[in-house]
Each structure stands twice: as structure tokens, then as C-alpha cells.
Amino acid sequence: MTVPLRRNRDYTLLWVGQACAEVGFSASLIAFPLLVLAVTGSAVASGVVLAADAVAQFVVGLPGGALADRWDRRRVMLACEGVQAAALASLVAVLLLDAVVLPHLVLVAVVLGACRALFEPAEDASIAAIVPDDQLATAIALNSARSSIGQLAGTALGGVLFAIARWVPFLLDLITHVIAFTALLFLRLPPRRVERAPLRGLGREVRDGIRWVARHPEIRVTTLCAVVLNLFFSAFYLIVIVLADQRGVPAGEIGIMAAMLGAGGLLGALIAPALHRALRPHIAIAAVFWALTALAPLTLLVPGGYLMGAVFAAMALFAPTANTTITTHQLLLTPDEMRGRLSGVMNVAVGAAAAIGPALGGVLAETLTARHAVVVCVIGMAVVTLFVTVNPTLRRYPGRAHQREEVQL
């Protein structure tokens, strides 16, 4: 008899530990650029620190997925949590001593970004090992809810704690990583064969992961579509903030507007398991594309930050269902020894789009009016939405019955 997910000891340990870590991460994420500005007075320096984090994630992403398949995944996660806690402890210490310097901030950002790039493939691959196939979709949806909760709570705490003292949000992040590390100490993963191959073979293993993604049409097509959608939505998000500022929306109201995106994602994650069961896979995937394309133009029409935030919340509602449908199928299709590399490829592809998107949004906002820049992004989203709607591979996207057959084979 299958144990209910809420009584799955190992999944609960992983979920609770990482929920705490998500809160701390979001708190320090908003505090980091504020800290750099306070220390250096330079917006360029703030950008360099944030870029260092993003570059580290990008560089480590693909080999990190291969290492998650090669090494003991629990030890990888433990090492990442421990190293992040040590990096944050060093940051808290220099802040208390008033001895912080820019190179140290860059180094901490690199360490944190690299550890996340290593941790995520190990966690993604582990979920399929500790959760039964018929509960995997619910587990993935709950992980989306976890991220939304962390973003909402951490973002709210980060600014408040930074106002108390510069080191406080980073102390919170340190404490939450210690909690996550402790939870992982009690995590039990099914035994698996661990490779002892030399690191010089890592490049070949990375290429094997990329070929695995490229060889499966539904993974290849959904990845391409997700990259394009993330690119234009990330640009759109920045442009709408610029548009709100031009309209004279107060900064506090803009903050609430941005937070409502996370609130919509949280609500969407809660209803994702039911929608995943009720909707055909193609409809579940296409719904988020149509929602973004149809709702984005409303930001040009509605007045005030609160109504624009409501549009943001509605746009985020169907994303967890699409993510649940896609990720569940990919994990069930992919053999265990390849799941880390699958996650690494996905994270790098989608993360690159999310990183380039704001730069695209900045260029559009500088060269066009904000309204025209929104229109450009809507056109980009509309093109990929039409492609998703008519693409034969996505229209034949495998359902749950087909996924069970693939697992049995």
C-alpha cells in the first residue's frame, strides 16, 4: 500500500529543509545588491556581484548535472549546504567586523551560485527515487509551492532585516542552510552504484546528457519553447516595472505588484495536481503560454500597481501545472543514471533565458517607449504560443498511461 506523501519521511525532510533554505536565499537575494550599494556606492559593482552569481550557476550547471549522476547525491547536497553555510558565515563575520571588501562579496556570490548549480540536479534526481511514480506530480507541484512560499516570505523579510542591520538577512540565510543541512543528515536515499571514473571523462558525460535531451522530441521541443517564453517574459517583467515607475506608481506598491507574481505561483502550485490529472498534457502545457500572451497586454490598460499585480498573479496561475506535467514526464522517461544531467541541461537552458531576458528588456526600454516594448514582448510570446498550439509533437505529448508503460519497459 502506497504511503501518503505527507507521511513520506524522506520527502518531508527534504521539503521542509529546502523550504527553510528558500526563505533564507530569497532574503539574502534582495539584500545582496543593497549591501554592495551600501559598501561601494556603485551600481556597477552591484551588477558585477549579481553577474558573478549568475555566471557561476551557468558554468557549473552542465558539469553539476553530470556529477549528480556520478557521485552520491545525498553527499553532494550535504556538501553544497555546508559550503554555502561557511560562505555566509564568512560574510556575516566581515560585516560584524566592518571589514567587508568587494572581492570577498564576489567570491561569496560565486560560491553560492556554484553550490546551487550542483545542488539542484542532485535534488531533482533524488525526488524520483524517494517518491512513488503515482505521487511524483504532486511532489513536483509541492516543490513549486515551496519555492513560491520562500520567495514571498524571504523577499518580505530581506528588506526589513537589512534595515535592522546589514548582516541580519545573511545570518537568516546561514541559519536556514544549517537547518537544511541537519535535515539532509537524516535523509535516506535508495542505494545506487556510484561512479569512480576520473574527472577527465566528465566532458563526455555532459555531452551524453545533451544528446539525451536532443534525442527525445518532446523534451527538445518543450525546452526550446520554455527558453523562448522565459526570455520574453523576463524582458516583459522588467519593462512593466519601468512602465509602473513612469506612471508614478509608488515604490511600495511596485513591490506588492511584484510579490503578487509569487502569490499567483503559490496558488497555481496548490491547484496544479488537480489540473494535472484533469487536463490533457498538451492543454496543460499550452494553457500557460496562452495565459501569458492574452494577459500581458492588460498591463497597458489597467491603472495602478495593485491591478497590474493582479494581472501578474493571473499570469503565474498555470505555470506550475505546465511545469508539473513536463517535469513528471521527463523524470519518468529518463533513467536514474541520467536524471542529474537532464536537470542540469534544463537549468542551464531556462536559466540562460531568464538571465538574458532582463538585458533584452533593458535594451527595449531604452530604445523604445515602455508601451512599445511591451508590445514587442507580447508579439514574441504570441509567436511561441502559436507554435506550441499547432506543434504535432506537443499535441501528441504522452499522458500518464503512456508514462507508466515507459517506466515498466
Which position has the higher pLDDT, 362 or 284?
284
Give the pLDDT score at 69: 92
Residue 409: pLDDT above 50?
no
Instruction: Tell me which of 22 and 354 has the higher pLDDT.
Output: 22
Sign of the torsion angle spanned by Cα atoms 395, 397, 400, 401:
positive
Number of structural domains found in the chain? 2
Do residues 164 and 283 share a domain?
Answer: no
Which CATH number fits the domain that encloses residue 39?
1.20.1250.20
Would residue 198 count as lying in a domain?
Answer: no
Mean of pLDDT values over 62-74: 93
Residue 319 has pLDDT above 50, yes or no: yes
Q: Is residue 129 part of a domain?
A: yes
Cell of 191: 542505494
Q: Alpha-carbon dihedral of residues 349, 353, 356, 361, nearest 10 degrees?
A: 180
Tell me the HSE value of 404 on the side-chain side, using a 13 A CA sphere.
Answer: 7
pLDDT band at 199 (very low <50, low <70, confident <90, very high): low
Asked if 228 and 353 sit in the same domain, the reply is yes
Residues 173 and 254 in one domain: no
| Claim to verify: residue 177 and residue 219 sit in the same structural domain | no
**Are the C-beta atoms of residues 361 and 253 closer than 8 Å to each other?**
no
In a domain, 224, yes or no: yes
pLDDT band at 242 (very low <50, low <70, confident <90, very high): confident
Q: Does position 405 have pLDDT exceeding 70, yes or no?
A: no
Euclidean distance between CA atoms 243 and 237, whole angstroms:
10
* Predicted TM-score (pTM) of this structure: 0.85
**200 vs 373, residue with greater confidence:** 373
What pLDDT sits at residue 44?
A: 74
The answer to whether the CB of 129 falls within 8 A of the CB of 336 is yes
- Residue 195, classed as helix, strand or coil, is coil
Indicate if the pLDDT at residue 286 is higher than 90: yes
Overall average pLDDT of the 365-370 stretch: 86
Q: Which residue has the higher pLDDT, 340 or 29?
A: 340
- Annotate 235-249 with DSSP letters as a single string: HHHHHHHHHHHHTT-
Grid coordinates representing 10? 524522506
> C-alpha distances in angstroms, 30 versus 25, 173, 227, 350?
9, 12, 25, 21
- Do 262 and 168 reside in the same domain of the chain? no
Q: What whole-number distance in Å separates Cα of residue 218 and Cα of residue 397? A: 7
Residue 353 lies in a domain: yes
Same domain? 27 vs 135: yes
Computed over every residue of the chain, the mean pLDDT equals 88
Question: Which residue in this structure is represented by grid cell 561569496?
Answer: 108
Do 136 and 167 fall into the same domain?
yes
Task: Determine, yes or no, domain membership for 363.
Answer: yes
Q: What is the Cα–Cα distance from 23 to 110, expressed in whole angstroms? A: 20
**Residue 403 pLDDT exceeds 60:** no
pLDDT at 401: 43
Same domain assignment for residues 243 and 370: yes
167, 290: one domain: no
Q: What is the pLDDT of residue 197?
A: 60
pLDDT average, residue stretch 109-136: 93
Domain encompassing residue 312: 209-409
